[in-house]
Structure 1
Amino acid sequence: MDKNQLGVQYMQEGKWEEAAKIFNEVIEENPSDPIAYINFGNVLSAVGDDEKALKFYEKAIELDENTAAAYYSAGNIYFSNDQFEQANKMFEMAMKKGLQTSDNYFMLGLTLVQLDQGKFALPYLQRSVELNEEDVEARFQYGLCLAQLELIDEAIVQLEKCVELDQQHADAYYNLGVSYAFKEDAPKAIAMFDKALEIQPDHLLAGHAKKLIESAK
């Protein structure tokens, strides 16, 4: 096992100090290795030092501008700090540099949703689900995006698949309820709100929506 792999193993075990020490050694031994800088940045990000982590990702890009993982990691930091435009640029660069993963498409789609560009987000979220059909959160966000664009029948298909994958997903049941309410199917809508409330009794949106439909009868 090489040192980068050993460092990644330490990270997976939550041994951040040991991981940092190993990646530091890799950088000292081979200062032109962009992967070591990305890995060190990931350690810093995991322990909450986003500012320093970004510097390591920038160094990795400086060493090799085609290091797609550096753009992706930087995008995650910008996203977690609500800097969605910068995040969007980073995820797009990661994609252009060859990172065609479900996670990158998902984050790119999610960023566009945050920027109120749901129509542009849709194909990325769709691609994310195609690449990883078992990803509950990607499927939920895809369904949500379809619903927001008033593609209700398509949204229902995705949200139903979501609750099939995760039977405890209260928000997916709530959004199914909203979708059925939109289609004026009150019994199905109430059944979905009930399911959301059964899983999460303090789901305020589901409780409120159920009361609205019942009072309109």
Structure 2
Amino acid sequence: MSPAWAKPPAPAAFTVEQLQAGEKRAGEAIEAVEQGDFEKAEAIWGELIEAFPTNPAVWSNRGNTRVSQNKLEAAIADFNQAIELAPNAPDPYLNRGIAYEGLGEWDKAIADYEKVLDLTPEDPLAYNNRGNAKAGQGNWEAALRDYQKAVELAPDFAFARANAALIQYQTGQTQTALRNLRNIVRKYPMFPDARAALTAVLWEQGMQGEAESNWVSAIGIDSRYQNLDWLEHIRRWPPRMVEALERFLTLEN
């Protein structure tokens, strides 16, 4: 989730100047995140935690910067504090779920996403993320249902659409996956995930020219798709799709 600044509770305990200074520093932290300087953002949120320790947003935001640096245990500690301060706010649960996913703690991640859905029953991101965690367990059918629900709630949620297509390919629905990936690429031509997946499926179907054209576009947008380890462990494509792209890369090279 993107960082946000929320004024701390009981504003009477702070001067106007303190609140304005806090807002200014929060803006600087958000700007640092936008520039990819997560270390700087983490330090600023740390300052704001010292100044406004009862504000759950600053704890949650520091947790987000720690997730971005793969400091997952420390991030979870921050989200725990945010949840203690604001137990009915969905964002810390959602973000803690992402951290648990990073640790491969699928059950804990699913529990957090289900808490989000208890609080906000039509949250497409929570459905998508629960699908990710279920896919991590190899529960492909349940994952697909969650991705499809996310798309139903947010038809322009391109990643949920791509995730659904990946699971369709994993479960042997090759032609459905191919059709859906083509539709995604047609609507979102600059979406490298769909283009890279489409490359793999097209190659398997013997459509080499179209596969290579999509591949050039995919890696021109995001070169990480050449890294199978990243694809398997960070992006977490299902194994059948990773294997298909590996065959393409092996034969292409």
With normalisation by structure 2, the TM-score equals 0.65
Whether the aligned pair in 1 keeps the contact of 2:199 and 2:215 (CA below 8 Å) is no
Q: Per-residue CA shift, 1:94-129, capped at 9, x if unaligned?
A: 222227444332221121122122221122211333
How far the C-alpha of 1:17 sits from its partner, in A, is 4.7
Q: Does 1:46 align with 2:56?
A: no
How far the C-alpha of 1:92 sits from its partner, in A, is 1.9
Letter in 1 for 2:126: N
Match among 187, 195, 199 for residue 210 of structure 2: 195
- Provide the secondary structure at the position in 1 that maps to 2:129: helix
Letter in 2 for 1:42: N
Using a 3 Å threshold, how does the CA distance of structure 1 residues 207 and 58 change in structure 2: closer, same or farther? closer
How far the C-alpha of 1:176 sits from its partner, in A, is 5.1
The number of residue pairs the alignment matches comes to 198
Residue in 1 aligned with 2:137?
Answer: 115
The aligned runs of 1:117-156 (5 Å cut-off) are: 117-130=139-152, 131-133=154-156, 135=158, 137-151=159-173, 154-156=176-178
Q: In structure 2, how many angstroms separate the alpha carbons of the residues matched to 1:9 and 1:132? A: 29
Letter in 2 for 1:133: D
Letter in 2 for 1:160: R
Residue in 2 aligned with 1:88?
Answer: 110
How far the C-alpha of 1:54 sits from its partner, in A, is 0.9
Structure 1: gaps (5+ residues): 179-188, 210-217
Whether the aligned pair in 2 keeps the contact of 1:171 and 1:196 (CA below 8 Å) is no
Using a 3 Å threshold, how does the CA distance of structure 1 residues 134 and 92 change in structure 2: closer, same or farther? closer
Residue in 2 aligned with 1:214?
Answer: none
- Provide the secondary structure at the position in 2 that maps to 1:174: helix
How far the C-alpha of 1:159 sits from its partner, in A, is 1.8
Residue in 1 aligned with 2:6?
Answer: none
Residue in 1 aligned with 2:99?
Answer: 77
Q: Per-residue CA shift, 1:114-148, capped at 9, x if unaligned?
A: 2122221122211333415252x332221122344
Letter in 1 for 2:67: S
Residue in 2 aligned with 1:65?
Answer: 87
RMSD across aligned C-alpha pairs, in angstroms? 3.1
Identity %: 21
Q: Does 1:171 align with 2:197?
A: yes
